[in-house]
């Protein structure tokens, strides 16, 4: 109610320039008219201001995003019901103009009432008790000097509140219709989406091709090296170097392209992201993959803010899969603890030899990014044969406006053939 009232007052404020303009113009056209003093002429100026507002909305496409922003934050209309961007097509401009007129009309009326009614109501409420008021030339009929005065004052306030409420509800209903995406907007959005998908598709196909060719060449080189290992060790050496080089390039390309594909993935709300509620299932799957996990949970991990819980789940998931990827199926210790306003996540696993990769791969970077998004931090290091990943997330999840990436990304899949080995 409060926000909608502000939205209406904003409408009144937006009306002012048009209103002032017509207030100046009307006396020039009509002799003796005085919109600034005469209430009747005031309404004439008000009426004249609305077509001007409509004209402005028609001429300036940028008005729509402004109005959309106001509606979204003040009227509680979900963003997905409203169009994005300037009103380009004439259909969109016409609807924006209609909306603008409605907003300014309702806003002008409610603002006028908001400004004038409370003082009048106060006077009416106080009339029976304040003698001097009765003798001041306020133009209040004698009728209200008794008990009717306060009643009329209350009625006046109720009228203002009722009007503001009604106008707010009405505007809230009309907003999605007039400020929602036009068919052209929807078409444009669909086309954008299609173009995006096509480019993602192309990227994925090129990646598939490139990695497929690289792996094929590597297979051949490895086979050749094995075949001539004894007779031509020099060839075998060159083949190994070529294999190293080729695979390195292929992995770098994978990293780059998958990164691109994930970035574009950001806004895809395909499936609800899992939270720590799904921790047991995750641990079950990890154990099924051959990784013995010992998990300890301290404190109320179940009641965390959804955003913290979601990101925590992803971090645990990445941590476990990292352990499997780099250390193999070794025992992993997972600790989750809620303490002093933060969630502590720790994943530990023994590693054989020095395998610490400076900077970390995609997994570690992803973890650090997630932690940072929430205002926390993550570190990973090897010490005395134990790889330890630690992430701290503030429980409030500060500054989280966006959803983090949802896709886990699929690597290039090498096909296994049916054409080989048949005679």
DSSP helix/strand/coil, 403: coil
Q: List all residues 6 or more positions away from 129 whose beta carbon is below 8 Å from its beta carbon.
A: none
Q: Distance (Å, rounded) from C-alpha 216 to C-alpha 316? A: 35
Contact flag: residue 235 with other proteins (CB under 8 A): yes
Site size for other proteins, by CB under 8 A? Answer: 31
At its nearest, how many Å lie between other proteins and the CB of residue 416? 9
The helix/strand/coil state of 100 is helix
Instruction: Identify which of residues 131 and 415 has a Cβ nearer to other proteins in the complex.
Output: 415
Tell me the closest approach of the beta carbon of residue 409 to other proteins, in angstroms.
Answer: 22
Question: Which range of residues in 239-247, 261-269, 331-339, 355-363 is near other proteins by CB under 8 A?
Answer: 239-247
Rounded to the nearest whole angstrom, what is the least distance from the CB of residue 262 to other proteins in the complex?
A: 25
Check residue 215 for interaction with other proteins (CB under 8 A). yes
- Work out whether 205 is an interface residue with other proteins (CB under 8 A): no
Q: First-to-last CA distance in the chain?
A: 79
Choice between 9 and 222, CB closer to other proteins: 222
CB 73, CB 2: distance < 8 Å: no
Q: Are 374 and 307 in contact (CB under 8 A)?
A: yes
Buried b / exposed e across 258-290, counting CB within 10 Å, b at 16+? beebbebeeeeeeeebebbebbeebbeebeeee
419 DSSP assignment: S
Question: Phi and psi of 304, rounded to 5°?
Answer: -75, 160
Which window, 220-228, 253-261, 287-295, 312-320, contacts other proteins (CB under 8 A)? 220-228
Residues 400-419 that bind other proteins (CB under 8 A): 414-415, 417-419
User: Is residue 234 close enough to count as binding other proteins by CB under 8 A?
Assistant: no
C-beta of 232 vs 342, nearer to other proteins: 232
**335: which strand partners?**
296, 346
> From CA 104, how far away is CA 47, in angstroms rounded?
11
Kindly state whether residue 165 participates in binding other proteins, applying the rule CB under 8 A. Answer: no
- Pairing mode, strands 293-298 and 377-383: unpaired
Contact between 422 and other proteins per CB under 8 A = yes
Instruction: Tell whether residue 231 is a contact of other proteins (CB under 8 A).
Output: yes
Distance CA 322, CA 357 (A): 12
Nearest alpha carbon to residue 349 among 335, 362, 338: 335
d(CA 1, CA 384): 61
- Is there binding between residue 22 and other proteins (CB under 8 A)? no
Query: Which residue in 221, 275, 286, 349 binds other proteins (CB under 8 A)?
Result: 221
CB of 271 to other proteins, least distance (A): 29
Cα distance between residue 258 and residue 264, in whole Å: 10
In the complex, minimum distance from the CB of residue 209 to other proteins, in angstroms, rounded to a whole number:
8
Q: Do 308 and 399 form a contact (C-beta atoms < 8 A)? A: no
Complex with other proteins: residue 40 or 231, whichever CB lies closer: 231
Site for other proteins in 240-259 (CB under 8 A): 242, 246
Residue 163 CA, chain-centre distance (Å), reads 33
Span from 57-65, 114-122, 184-192, 208-216 in contact with other proteins (CB under 8 A): 208-216
Minimum Å gap between C-beta 240 and other proteins is: 12
CA dihedral 19, 25, 29, 31 (to 10 degrees): 80
- Minimum CB–partner distance for residue 261 and other proteins (Å): 20
Q: Which CB sits closer to other proteins, 62 or 229?
A: 229
Best CA proximity match to 376, nearest among 320, 304, 270, 290: 304
Instruction: State which of residues 232, 253, 264, 277 lies at the interface with other proteins (CB under 8 A).
Output: 232
Binder among 73, 116, 199, 216 for other proteins (CB under 8 A): 216
Q: How far is the CB of 257 from other proteins (least distance, A)?
A: 18
- What is the Cα–Cα distance from 343 to 312, expressed in whole angstroms? 8
Residue 272 near other proteins by CB under 8 A: no
Cβ closer to other proteins: 131 or 422?
422
Question: For residue 311, what are its two tokens?
Answer: 């990101």
The residue ranges that bind other proteins (CB under 8 A) are: 209, 212-213, 215-217, 219-221, 223-228, 231-232, 235, 238-239, 242, 246, 414-415, 417-423
């Amino acid at each position: 109610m409060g926000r909608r009232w502000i939205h209406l007052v904003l409408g009144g404020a937006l009306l002012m320039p048009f209103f002032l303009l017509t207030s100046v113009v009307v006396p020039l056209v009509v002799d003796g008219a005085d919109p600034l003093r005469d209430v009747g002429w005031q309404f004439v100026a008000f009426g004249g201001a609305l077509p001007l507002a409509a004209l402005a909305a028609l001429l300036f496409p940028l008005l729509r995003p402004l109005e959309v922003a106001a509606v979204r934050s003040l009227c509680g209309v979900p963003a997905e019901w409203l169009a994005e961007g300037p009103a380009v097509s004439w259909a969109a401009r016409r609807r924006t103009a209609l909306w603008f007129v409605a907003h300014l009309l309702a806003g002008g009326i409610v603002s006028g009432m908001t400004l004038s009614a409370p003082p009048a109501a106060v006077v009416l409420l106080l009339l029976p008790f304040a003698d001097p008021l009765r003798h001041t030339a306020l133009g209040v009929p004698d009728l209200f000097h008794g008990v009717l005065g306060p009643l009329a004052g209350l009625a006046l306030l109720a009228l203002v509140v009722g009007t503001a409420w009604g106008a707010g509800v009405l505007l809230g209903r009309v907003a999605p219709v007039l400020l929602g995406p036009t068919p052209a907007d929807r078409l444009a959005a669909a086309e954008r989406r299609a173009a995006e998908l096509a480019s993602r598709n192309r990227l994925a196909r090129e990646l598939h091709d490139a990695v497929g060719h690289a792996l094929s060449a590597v297979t051949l080189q490895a086979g050749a090296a094995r075949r001539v290992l004894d007779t031509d060790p020099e060839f075998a050496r060159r083949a190994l170097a070529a294999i190293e080089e080729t695979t390195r390039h292929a992995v770098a390309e994978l990293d780059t392209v998958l990164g691109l594909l994930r970035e574009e993935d950001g806004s895809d709300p395909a499936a609800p992201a899992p939270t720590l509620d799904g921790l047991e299932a995750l641990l079950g799957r990890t154990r099924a993959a051959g990784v013995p996990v010992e998990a300890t949970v301290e404190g109320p991990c179940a009641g965390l803010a959804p955003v913290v819980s979601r990101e925590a789940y992803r971090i645990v998931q990445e941590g476990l899969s990292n352990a499997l990827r780099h250390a193999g199926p070794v025992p992993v210790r997972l600790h989750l603890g809620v303490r002093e306003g933060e969630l502590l996540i720790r994943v530990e696993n023994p590693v054989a030899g020095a395998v610490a990769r400076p900077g970390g791969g995609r997994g570690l970077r992803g973890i650090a990014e997630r932690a940072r998004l929430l205002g926390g931090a993550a570190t990973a290091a090897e010490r005395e044969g134990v790889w330890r990943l630690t992430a701290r997330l503030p429980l409030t999840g500060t500054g989280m406006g966006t959803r983090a990436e949802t896709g886990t990304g699929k690597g290039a899949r090498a096909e296994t053939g049916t054409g080989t080995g048949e005679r």
